[in-house]
Amino acid sequence: MTVSGGVARFPQDGETWDALFSVADRRLYEAKRAGRNRVVSAAAA
């Protein structure tokens, strides 16, 4: 079993549910592409 996660911060990443969810979702898939079992909380530089 693996776990990946994406985290969005209020208000840095958005001030609405839709904006925050969108950022968290993008980060979730970034974590999965990076090898799973990861959490991404900020955009990769």
pLDDT tens column, 1-45: 889 999 999 999 999 999 999 999 999 999 999 988 999 998 554
Closest of 35, 31, 32, 3 to residue 43, by C-alpha: 31
Q: Reduce the DSSP state of residue 32 to 3 states and report it.
A: helix
What is this structure's pTM? Answer: 0.82
CA separation (Å) from 28 to 8, 11, 15, 24?
A: 10, 19, 19, 6
Neighbouring C-beta atoms of residue 40, cutoff 10 Å: 20
* pLDDT given at position 45: 41
DSSP bridge pairs for 40: 6
